[in-house]
Amino acid sequence: MDHIQGNADAMIELVEYGDYQCPHCGHAYPIIKDIQEKLGDKLKLVFRNFPLQEIHPSALDAAIASEAAALQNKFWEMHDIIFENQRNLTARNLLGMAKTIGLDPAKFSADIHSADLKEKVLTDFESGIRSGVNGTPTFYINGSKYAGSWEEGVLLEKLTALYEQNVV
């Protein structure tokens, strides 16, 4: 099941395949937050895990931690705190983040070892591969791969224009 933030029925769906340890995803994180704020209920954001384990050794653990948080209905809180602390993704720090956002630490500690959560992350990864994702972040707008710049002004302009085209 996808993690959705914003209006589930929005005219614009932005899907991000991301890696919590990727510096480019870290750079995109506040840009996407700002776009969400500016577009409000016009935007549905979907995040799918795409941990590039070979170059980001902590990415898989961070993705599993976000899925463990989802079991306590705090996916987005964990998503945010991980990106805000992405340079320090040790198991100990992930547990500290879980406590900071109010997760039950015993349940979180047990859940991060769940084969089901690892499988969910790997399923997201495989769906990305099948969809043509070959790096992070990769964005899809209303089902189509977006090849343009994701810097704030450019992506915001693209999304705003798309919304206006569909409203007129």
Rg value, the chain, Cα: 16
pLDDT of residue 1: 80
Is residue 121 within 8 Å of residue 17, measured between CB atoms? no
Whole-angstrom Cα distance, residue 121 to residue 28?
Answer: 20
The yes-or-no verdict on residue 83 having pLDDT over 80 is yes
Domains of the chain in start order, with CATH, are: 3-167 (3.40.30.10)
The answer, yes or no, to whether residue 168 has pLDDT greater than 60, is no
DSSP strand pairing (43-49 vs 3-6): antiparallel
pLDDT at 167: 64
* DSSP string computed for the chain: --EEEE-TT-SEEEEEEE-TT-HHHHHHHHHHHHHHHHHGGGEEEEEEE---TTT-TTHHHHHHHHHHHHTTT-HHHHHHHHHHTTT---HHHHHHHHHHTT--HHHHHHHTT-HHHHHHHHHHHHHHHHHT--SSSEEEETTEEE-S--SHHHHHHHHHHHHHHHH-
Residue among 120, 110, 105 at smallest CA distance from 64: 120
Whole-number mean pLDDT of the chain?
95
pLDDT at 119: 96
At 32-74, the pLDDT tens digits run 999 999 999 999 999 999 999 999 999 999 999 999 999 999 9
Percent of the chain with pLDDT over 90: 93
Q: For 5-18, how does the pLDDT look when each residue is reduced to its tens digit (9 = 90+)? A: 999 999 999 999 99
- Region 109-128 average pLDDT: 96
